[in-house]
């Protein structure tokens, strides 16, 4: 099943409008209106038009051995979680729990770690169950502690078998937002939580400016072929978002 984009034209405009603390913007109806609105909000007009016209959907990066994606329903939306494993040793780590971790528990791997991108409920609601079922330790940024998880400082590094995990700060949507950059599989991965989506980004609830800045510094500086694994919506890549994300293609 193809997962739809997380945000529509109206969602994107609302995030920019609220982030910039501007009055509510009427929905633009024509190409000229969309271009004028994009300019007023600092968004990429061509990328915004592509979203508005239904012309943008990221290319499928294809199967990657060692990456398993889960999409589970939570209230009126769905949420993504991921399992990454070393194909040689079967050592594995969960990234967020989604609304239901059952899919992870059915795989023939050894889950030894649980990494949290941030602590919004839809991403951590099944944490206690996943820990109890696997005996794995959970880890979270020390900027956003949560019961049941060990804290780590910005820049901490981990490993999953022979895979390397680098942590990068992507706060702004959440105080403790973290992106996990994983190398050692066929493609580099970045588990980004709600920092960035295909064609959009998180809401910048903590700080819109900080969200834009940390996304640019910590995600968009990665190689273009890095597969981005967001908390909602489909997989994408750094190169796709540089070209097609209205927040970053200005």
User: Is 178 a member of any domain?
Assistant: yes
What is the C-alpha end-to-end distance of the chain, expressed in Å? 31
Kind and range of the H or E run holding 111: strand 110-115
Q: What is residue 181's predicted lDDT score, i.e. its pLDDT?
A: 98
Q: What is residue 114's predicted lDDT score, i.e. its pLDDT?
A: 98
Kind and range of the H or E run holding 152: strand 150-152
How many structural domains compose the chain? Answer: 1
Q: What is residue 25's predicted lDDT score, i.e. its pLDDT?
A: 87
> Which of 32, 135, 125 has its CA nearest to residue 75?
125
| C-alpha to C-alpha distance for 40 and 99, rounded to whole angstroms | 37
Q: How far is CA 19 from CA 29, 64, 206, in A?
A: 22, 35, 10
User: Is 2 a member of any domain?
Assistant: no
| C-alpha to C-alpha distance for 241 and 219, rounded to whole angstroms | 10
* Residue 82 DSSP label: E
User: Is 41 a member of any domain?
Assistant: no
Q: What is residue 1's predicted lDDT score, i.e. its pLDDT?
A: 72
Interhelix angle for 45-52 vs 9-19, to 10°?
A: 140
User: Is 3 a member of any domain?
Assistant: no
3-state secondary structure of 220: coil
Whichever domain contains 154, its CATH number is: 3.60.15.10
User: Is 62 a member of any domain?
Assistant: no
Q: What is residue 250's predicted lDDT score, i.e. its pLDDT?
A: 72
3-state secondary structure of 232: coil
* Containing structural domain, residue 169: 67-244
User: Is 15 a member of any domain?
Assistant: no
Q: What is residue 146's predicted lDDT score, i.e. its pLDDT?
A: 97
With contact defined as beta carbons under 8 Å apart, do 7 and 200 qualify?
Answer: yes
User: Is 79 a member of any domain?
Assistant: yes
Q: Exposed, middle or buried by CB within 10 Å (0-12, 13-18, 19+), for 159?
A: middle
User: Is 136 a member of any domain?
Assistant: yes
| C-alpha to C-alpha distance for 143 and 153, rounded to whole angstroms | 8
With contact defined as beta carbons under 8 Å apart, do 86 and 93 qualify?
Answer: no
| C-alpha to C-alpha distance for 168 and 209, rounded to whole angstroms | 17
| C-alpha to C-alpha distance for 38 and 22, rounded to whole angstroms | 13
Interhelix angle for 208-218 vs 9-19, to 10°?
A: 110
pTM value is 0.97
**Phi, psi torsion values for 47, nearest 5 degrees:** -65, -40
Sign of CA dihedral 151, 123, 236, 42: negative
**Average pLDDT by stretches of 10, the chain with 250 residues:** 93 97 93 97 97 95 96 96 98 98 97 98 98 98 97 98 98 98 98 98 95 98 98 98 94
């Amino acid at each position: 099943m193809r997962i739809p984009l997380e945000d529509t034209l109206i969602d994107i405009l609302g995030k920019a409008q609220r982030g910039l603390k501007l009055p509510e913007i009427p929905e633009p109806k024509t190409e000229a209106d969309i271009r004028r609105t994009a300019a007023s909000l600092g968004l990429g007009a061509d990328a915004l038009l592509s979203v508005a016209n239904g012309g943008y959907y990221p290319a499928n990066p294809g199967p990657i051995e060692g990456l398993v994606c889960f999409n589970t329903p939570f209230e009126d939306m769905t949420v993504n979680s991921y399992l990454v494993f070393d194909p040689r040793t079967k050592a594995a780590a969960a990234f967020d729990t989604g609304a239901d971790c059952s899919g992870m528990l059915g795989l023939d791997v050894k889950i030894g770690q649980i990494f949290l991108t941030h602590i919004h409920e839809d991403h951590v609601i099944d944490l206690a169950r996943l820990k109890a079922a696997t005996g794995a330790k959970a880890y979270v940024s020390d900027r956003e502690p949560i019961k049941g998880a060990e804290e780590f400082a910005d820049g901490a590094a981990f490993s999953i078998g022979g895979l390397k995990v680098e942590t990068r700060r992507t706060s702004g949507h959440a105080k403790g937002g973290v992106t996990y950059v994983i190398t050692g599989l066929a493609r580099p991965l970045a588990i980004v939580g709600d920092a960035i989506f295909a064609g959009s980004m998180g809401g910048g609830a903590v700080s819109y400016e900080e969200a834009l800045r940390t996304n640019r510094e910590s995600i968009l500086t990665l190689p273009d072929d890095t597969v981005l694994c967001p908390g909602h919506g489909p997989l994408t890549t750094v190169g796709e978002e540089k070209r097609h994300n209205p927040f970053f293609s200005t």
